Structure 1
Amino acid sequence: MPIATVDPATGETLRTFDALGADEIERRLALARSAFAEHRLTDFGRRAQLLDRAADLLGDDEEEIARTMTTEMGKPIAAARAEAAKCAKAMRWYASHAEKLLADEHPDAADVKDSGASRVVVRYRPLGVVLAVMPWNFPLWQVMRFAAPALMAGNVGLLKHASNVPQTALYMEDLFLRAGYPEGCFQTLLVGSGAVEGILRDNRVAAATLTGSEPAGRSVAAIAGDEVKKTVLELGGSDPFIVMPSADIDRAAATAVTARVQNNGQSCIAAKRFIVHTDVYDAFVERFTGRMRELTVGNPMDESVQVGPLATEQGRADVEELVDDALERGATALCGGGRPKGQDRGWFYEPTVLADVTEEMRIHREEAFGPVATVYRVADAEEAVALANDTPFGLSSNAWTRDASDVRRFERDIEAGGVFFNGMTASHPALPFGGAKRSGYGRELSDHGIREFCNITTIWHGAAPDRAS
């Protein structure tokens, strides 16, 4: 895939970039290693000062970078502004919390007395150079939720971003340089996917984090495993959205629309499978479908537009294949099901709701990365849980109920990295984020995220020998 900015609203190639050559990659790897040697020795006060400064600059740049993101991958401009603001919030959160999150731990003396220690300290030390392989769908936020904790822990970063968001990727490097970070602390590598293996195998790279497709995750995990290097993977999801009889149906339906079409439906944590109790199925589906049908699709730079284009032509083709396969096998399109009429340019797709979905349809098992929802009717909580778990993914989940027994059941039995009740899944700097099953492993954000790329070191002091009098 060429490294280029291609406007998904028009299909027009706006700018292209050359991939870095071998000599430049080598220079940057050496620079990263040198920067780590310096950055690891800075104190938390200095790190916080730098990250706060970067957050201030990002705030100043909010409109500019929002327009860049919208131009490169098509998210509505209001959502792009919100993404930039969320990044600044996370940066400030880590700047103010990292020292406490990574403070030395002192095991109780009584617990370690029989080890012969006079003193034991558990210390969180940085690993080194971390390679981040990031996707285009949240081109700023996906990177920042790695970069902010990694830099505060004393690591340095190399970013291999998706090839269709090169200007956003270059902005990230420039942001940290302008904030005062030494050269090499955070670098963007404009390279194709074929260069990732060589970079990851380099002995100056200590670890890697990837958000993206399952095949990409398998590849990076296999390479890192062969090199015995730490990885964190977030590989997408097919999140359930369960609606039970005690739910507030109007609120659930309104939230369901946002949960499905956020970021034009291109979100790993978007609700995708709507599992509705038979007692409220008709009422919920009528409200949900009506709201989906009323969404405004169009130019994402228009403030009134709610759903923009899909980010790539291939992405739209993938969605079309899933929907067409389902329709050919007997699914019913309650709304949508194709390209919007009158949108001859760009990679737009109608907000779509599919009913009568069965197991042999691809969309039952595969993630639909676009504004397409599937709705299912279930008889009880047991069937809802079984259907929610009937997926290879386990990123997050949503459940709408005011019944305490439902809550206990869903908390206990849904196989996912998160269970959100009476609301939609969202990431937050203070909450751990990650999945189970083929949605990946490891966690981002919170104390768990900042510790993923730390060497958790036991420092043991033996009792000093008695001195002769």
Structure 2
Amino acid sequence: MTMIKCISPVNGEVYAERPAMPLELARQAVAHARLAQKSWAKRPIEERVQLVLAGVARLNEMVDEVVPELAWQMGRPVRYGGEFRGFNERSNYVASIAADALKPIIVEESERFERRIEREPHGVVFVIAPWNYPYMTAINTVAPALMAGNTVIIKHASQTILVGERMVRAFIEAGVPADVFQNLFLDHDTTAALIAAKSFDFINFTGSVEGGRSIERAAAGTFTGLGLELGGKDPGYVMEDADLDAAVDTLMDGATYNSGQCCCGIERIYVHESLYNAFVEKSVAWVSNYKLGNPLDPETTLGPMANKRFAATVRHQIADAVSKGAKTLIDPKLFPQDDGGAYLAPQVLVDVDHSMEFMREETFGPAVGIMKVKNDAEAIELMNDCQYGLTVSLWTKDADRASRIGRDLETGTVFMNRADYLDPALCWTGVKETGRGGSLSILGFHNLTRPKSYHLKKATA
């Protein structure tokens, strides 16, 4: 029997494990979801919305268990209190727009014709969720999918193996029928076999680029709808009129919070030459104030990375950049807890350029490179010189300038004077190898449903 294990970054030991479900049992679970979907979709939308919100509320009641459980699984310090603020914000927002997002588009309603477009649920939605923000990324699809009348099967990353189980438990205890929302423990082969057999009507995957390619290969020829949020290498651009202190505070937090393990984290920063020296000096001071340590210690502000192999990637990229002329500015003596494994000190690099893997490939760790630029044109060229495109963070007092620059950027979201935030009223989407599709907002509901047109000619006397 294959066991799916979570190796805790806290101590390198097995924290939790579950047996992988055999293919035949997984097929039965999907069949139960498909059977339950029709009756779930026939419930009034307000009833579905309220049951989802009840599940969210029930999960909130588990906060004392969830927060340390997350620290053990993926290393986020308990002082940050889990993901409840974003989890609740996203759930409440999609609940508030569900009725409008799903209402029919009326083209004509006359004595002769009724013409309209309605939204129908896809059926069974498969959510493959990541470990870095395991609750917030999952709820992006789970909440609107259930509200729209789909049934949902969730498979969570092995690093956060308990999250799907806990979410489903909370929702079922709140009254969502058991077959409507299910958590399955699946290995890669079983997952691929289910997808290839067209077991699902829509699949949402958040993870690596290679993981996205695997999903696409498995789904080839099935015509199953896919939503893919993959890699990122998000840039910041600090212009000469920026609020320097605000830029440092937000961009350094965006680069290092959650040990840099964020899909929209800031991984490279371009600073106008007039502010460059001051920005670098303030950034080094900001990052040097972290306390690296055990995430269960309330004094810890920077926990370990989720797995030592993730930390090894960051160390490799830094070493490669240094071998090509980059300089590290954070004194390693400030972080004696760096053990060469999952516990990794944050780092700021200068004298970097785009010949270095560190400035082009996803790092996904608490390290950031800073480059000097002369003008907007140079910054735009560098920000677009990347295979990914999720968000960019622009720092200026001129909103018109930010909008003009934004139109030239190959990205899913343009921020001005903020970063690393998912606004549930806006579509969360990416371009290039960051993936395709979009979640949240009205468009997120549209992606989780399909249009059906009605052209009804009335009988005449």
Shared fold (TM-score greater than 0.5)? yes
Across the aligned residues of Structure 1 and Structure 2, the Cα RMSD in angstroms comes to 2.0
Q: Is the 8 A contact 2:234 2:389 kept in 1?
A: yes
Question: Alignment partner for residue 451 of structure 1, among 429, 446, 452?
Answer: 446
Aligned to 2:57: 56
CA distance in 1 between partners of 2:403 and 2:33 (Å): 48
Residue 21 in 1 paired to residue 22 in 2?
yes
CA distance in 2 between partners of 1:2 and 1:11 (Å): 17
Q: Is the 8 A contact 1:4 1:165 kept in 2?
A: no
CA distance in 2 between partners of 1:106 and 1:336 (Å): 63
Amino acid at match of 2:296: M
Q: Is the 8 A contact 2:93 2:424 kept in 1?
A: yes
Offset of residue 109 of structure 1: 6.7
Residue 99 in 1 paired to residue 99 in 2?
yes
Amino acid at match of 2:211: A
CA distance in 2 between partners of 1:242 and 1:72 (Å): 34
CA distance in 1 between partners of 2:53 and 2:399 (Å): 42
Question: Alignment partner for residue 200 of structure 1, among 195, 200, 206?
Answer: 195
Residue 77 in 1 paired to residue 78 in 2?
yes
Aligned to 1:143: 138
Amino acid at match of 2:125: V
Aligned to 1:90: 90
Offset of residue 56 of structure 1: 1.6
Amino acid at match of 1:394: G
Residue 440 in 1 paired to residue 435 in 2?
yes
CA distance in 2 between partners of 1:438 and 1:338 (Å): 37
Q: What are the superposed Cα offsets for residues 268-317 of structure 1, whole Å, 9 maximum, x if unpaired?
A: 10111111000100011110111112211111122222211000121111
Give the match's secondary structure for 1:106.
Answer: strand
Q: Return closer, same or farther for 1:392/1:344 CA change in 2, 3 Å cut-off.
A: closer
Q: Is the 8 A contact 1:281 1:377 kept in 2?
A: yes
Aligned to 1:361: 356
Give the match's secondary structure for 2:292.
Answer: coil
CA distance in 2 between partners of 1:42 and 1:238 (Å): 42
Amino acid at match of 1:399: L
Offset of residue 225 of structure 1: 3.5
Offset of residue 404 of structure 1: 4.9
Aligned to 1:282: 277
Offset of residue 338 of structure 1: 10
Question: Alignment partner for residue 314 of structure 2, among 308, 319, 326?
Answer: 319
Q: Which region of structure 1 is more displaced relative to structure 2, 195-204 or 134-143? A: 195-204
Q: Which region of structure 1 is more displaced relative to structure 2, 193-202 or 366-375? A: 193-202
Residue 379 in 1 paired to residue 403 in 2?
no
Q: Which consecutive aligned stretches of 4+ in structure 1 deviate over 6 angstroms post-superposition? A: none
Give the match's secondary structure for 2:226.
Answer: strand
Residue 398 in 1 paired to residue 399 in 2?
no
CA distance in 2 between partners of 1:78 and 1:416 (Å): 32
The two structures have a TM-score, normalised by structure 2, of: 0.95
Q: What are the superposed Cα offsets for residues 296-354 of structure 1, whole Å, 9 maximum, x if unpaired?
A: 11111222222110001211111111111111111111115799424448611111011
Q: Which region of structure 1 is more displaced relative to structure 2, 216-225 or 440-449? A: 216-225
Counterparts of 1:301-320 in structure 2 under 5 Å?
301-320=296-315
Q: Is the 8 A contact 1:9 1:300 kept in 2?
A: yes
Give the match's secondary structure for 2:127.
Answer: strand
Counterparts of 1:184-195 in structure 2 under 5 Å?
184-195=179-190
CA distance in 2 between partners of 1:378 and 1:90 (Å): 37
Q: Is the 8 A contact 2:22 2:190 kept in 1?
A: no
Aligned to 2:242: 247
Amino acid at match of 1:234: E
Amino acid at match of 1:21: P
Give the match's secondary structure for 1:140.
Answer: helix
Amino acid at match of 1:62: V
Residue 238 in 1 paired to residue 238 in 2?
no
The two structures have a TM-score, normalised by structure 1, of: 0.94
Q: What are the superposed Cα offsets for residues 153-209 of structure 1, whole Å, 9 maximum, x if unpaired?
A: 000111121112111121012111111111211111111122221111233411101
Q: Return closer, same or farther for 1:318/1:344 CA change in 2, 3 Å cut-off.
A: closer
Q: What are the superposed Cα offsets for residues 30-54 of structure 1, whole Å, 9 maximum, x if unpaired?
A: 1111111221111112102211211
Q: What are the superposed Cα offsets for residues 193-242 of structure 1, whole Å, 9 maximum, x if unpaired?
A: 22221111233411101110001111212332421110011002111110
Q: Which region of structure 1 is more displaced relative to structure 2, 83-92 or 243-252? A: 83-92
Q: Is the 8 A contact 1:73 1:136 kept in 2?
A: yes
Q: Return closer, same or farther for 1:137/1:104 CA change in 2, 3 Å cut-off.
A: same
Q: Is the 8 A contact 2:7 2:159 kept in 1?
A: yes
Residue 4 in 1 paired to residue 33 in 2?
no
Q: Which region of structure 1 is more displaced relative to structure 2, 240-249 or 221-230? A: 221-230
Q: Return closer, same or farther for 1:338/1:196 CA change in 2, 3 Å cut-off.
A: farther
Q: Return closer, same or farther for 1:405/1:53 CA change in 2, 3 Å cut-off.
A: closer
Give the match's secondary structure for 1:273.
Answer: strand
Give the match's secondary structure for 2:451.
Answer: strand
Counterparts of 1:128-167 in structure 2 under 5 Å?
128-167=123-162
Q: Is the 8 A contact 1:163 1:192 kept in 2?
A: no
Amino acid at match of 1:391: C
Give the match's secondary structure for 1:335.
Answer: coil
CA distance in 2 between partners of 1:354 and 1:2 (Å): 40
CA distance in 1 between partners of 2:358 and 2:367 (Å): 10
CA distance in 1 between partners of 2:280 and 2:435 (Å): 31
Q: What are the superposed Cα offsets for residues 136-160 of structure 1, whole Å, 9 maximum, x if unpaired?
A: 1011111111100000000011112
CA distance in 1 between partners of 2:18 and 2:171 (Å): 21
**How many aligned residue pairs are there?**
460
Counterparts of 1:408-427 in structure 2 under 5 Å?
408-427=403-422
Q: Is the 8 A contact 2:267 2:368 kept in 1?
A: yes
CA distance in 2 between partners of 1:96 and 1:364 (Å): 40
Q: Is the 8 A contact 1:25 1:189 kept in 2?
A: yes
Aligned to 1:123: 118
Offset of residue 23 of structure 1: 2.9
Amino acid at match of 2:395: W
Q: Is the 8 A contact 1:32 1:184 kept in 2?
A: yes
Give the match's secondary structure for 1:160.
Answer: strand
